[in-house]
Structure 1
Amino acid sequence: MKRIELFGCPMDVATMHETIKIIGDRIEARQFTQHVVVNVAKLVSLQTDLVLDASVRACDIINIDGMGVVWGARLLGHSVPERVAGVDLFERLLQMAAARSLPVFLLGATDAVVSRTASVIAVRHPDLRIAGYHHGYFWEDEEEVVEQIRQSGARLLFVAITSPKKEVFINRWRDRLGVDFVMGVGGTFDVVSGNVRRAPEWMQRNGLEWAYRVGQEPRRMWKRYFITNNRFAVMLLRARIASAFQGTAGQPNEKT
């Protein structure tokens, strides 16, 4: 995959199909892979959060999730074919795992949400081997949960814990998890379990998922998206002005 850098964050430019192929090949080769997706909120946050920045950089595959980042990258001259949404990638990886008999482990969210998620995907993918699942509130028994994952025999681990906690957890225990692939999936379990509705496809295509999310939980989400979206817009504006200035400065002076 081609790798670009946007506002200091490395990102891999790939289609969904290419991403699935690379992940599948690495799993078959028993090559440990840490995966992360980057959206506007995360890209803005890692500008000041050094722990999150280091955690993202430690990942082997960094996909672009969110049309805002896709459009921003294109605006600054990068060729990005499409977004690779985390929730869609999760579903595609479950399909692959079921077809190849690769056990999976689900970690994160509340006990009710993760157990419901396990039930839903078991129905969707009857051939899928669910090695185990555990809620995301285990910080007093962290090492015990790591051992549970290792003993489960899972090959793929999906972690639905907020950033940067999940990235820090994965980095800390990656050598003891016993899995070949680990992916932070954010709020995916909430969507799969039906606890949160996903935006209609037309809103997804037009970068309006954040607005739909705010509409569902306005008190909790409006400030987060208002701040990050505005900061990202300012970042893009400054980058465009700097690019235009450099382009003008680099042109030879005309003589009359």
Structure 2
Amino acid sequence: MDYKLLNGVKTYAPSSRKQLIEFAFENQSILVAVNAEKILHATDESRNLINRNVGYPDGIGAVWALKKKGDKTVVKTPGCELWLDIVSAYQEDKTFYFVGGKQEVIEATIDKLKFEFKNIRISNFRNGYIKTKEEELALIEDIKTHKPDVVFVAMGSPKQELLMERIQKEHSALYQGLGGSFDVYTGNVKRAPKWWVKNNLEWAYRLINQPSRIKRQIHLVRFFANLHLNRY
């Protein structure tokens, strides 16, 4: 699978979600979402973190940048959808371990998964509040004991990626960082309606519903200006 450097951030350009998922399984990868913000604000530390793993185009900004670099068939792959694609395709063949969210959120997530995916094989799960080194070591030992094929960690970047790297040293699997996906999945956080998502206007919907995001969204203007000027 091809990739390009976008402001030094190695971003893969899958032509389908199936291709990305198969690549990740073959290489026992850590999947890291890449969007316009991560490209624009990349530091040596954040670049290295993504480049050690498999960065994929989670947002339309990353897709446009990849297409401008020549990858015309690249598809946008929202992380909040990708993990459910993995579950759906491999619920009978793979085992899953879930980490993240508040206790009530992770429990609601597991209940909904069991309802929607009747054949899902869940190794274990726990909330995302890992406060001590002892708790982290206990988590790693539990994962080593259960030997899941897939580990999802929803804690926000870069915390979730750094944790997944530490776990991966002890247990090889496919890993994906999910940010707030459990909250979206359980309805605690509302995602933009389908029309907005389909037309790549999810960012605008968020801005309308959360005007305080204007300071964050204004940076997207810089991103698109740099893209137009071929600075990536």
Both structures adopt the same fold (TM-score exceeding 0.5) = yes
Quote the residue 1:22 is aligned against: 23
Deviation at 1:76, TM superposition (A): 4.5
Quote the residue 1:9 is aligned against: 9
Aligned mates of 1:73, 1:2 — CA distance in 2: 10
Output aligned runs, 1:86-235, within 5 Å.
86-100=79-93, 102-140=94-132, 141-176=135-170, 178-219=171-212, 221-227=213-219, 229-235=220-226
Could you list the runs of 5+ residues in structure 1 that have no partner in the other structure?
A: 243-256
Deviation at 1:179, TM superposition (A): 4.2
Deviation at 1:216, TM superposition (A): 4.1
Deviation at 1:51, TM superposition (A): 2.3
Residues 68, 207 of structure 1: 8 Å contact kept: no
Aligned mates of 2:155, 2:215 — CA distance in 1: 20
Aligned mates of 2:51, 2:161 — CA distance in 1: 10
TM-score of the two chains, using structure 2 as the length reference: 0.89
Deviation at 1:120, TM superposition (A): 0.9
- What is the CA deviation profile of residues 221-244 of structure 1, one whole-angstrom value per residue up to 9, with x for unaligned ones? 4432333x123123213326x9xx
Aligned mates of 2:209, 2:124 — CA distance in 1: 30
CA RMSD of the aligned region, Å?
Answer: 2.1
Larger Rg: 1
Deviation at 1:119, TM superposition (A): 1.1
Pick one of 12, 15, 36 that aligns with 1:40: 36
- AA aligned opposite 2:160: K
Quote the residue 2:230 is aligned against: 239
- What is the CA deviation profile of residues 63-112 of structure 1, one whole-angstrom value per residue up to 9, with x for unaligned ones? 11111221233234442431122122111100123131x11111112222
Quote the residue 1:74 is aligned against: 67
Pick one of 42, 47, 52 that aligns with 1:53: 47
Aligned mates of 1:53, 1:210 — CA distance in 2: 23
Aligned mates of 2:156, 2:130 — CA distance in 1: 13
Per the alignment, do residues 224 and 144 of structure 1 end up closer, same or farther by CA in structure 2, a change over 3 Å counting?
farther
Aligned mates of 2:129, 2:32 — CA distance in 1: 21
- AA aligned opposite 1:139: K
How many corresponding residue pairs?
Answer: 229
Aligned mates of 1:20, 1:34 — CA distance in 2: 11
Percent same amino acid at aligned positions?
27
Could you list the runs of 5+ residues in structure 2 that have no partner in the other structure?
A: none
- What is the CA deviation profile of residues 23-44 of structure 1, one whole-angstrom value per residue up to 9, with x for unaligned ones? 34x2xxxx53221121112222
Aligned mates of 1:149, 1:191 — CA distance in 2: 25
The 4+ residue runs of structure 1 with deviation greater than 6 A are none
Residues 157, 179 of structure 1: 8 Å contact kept: no
Aligned mates of 1:8, 1:191 — CA distance in 2: 30
Deviation at 1:17, TM superposition (A): 2.2
Deviation at 1:121, TM superposition (A): 0.9
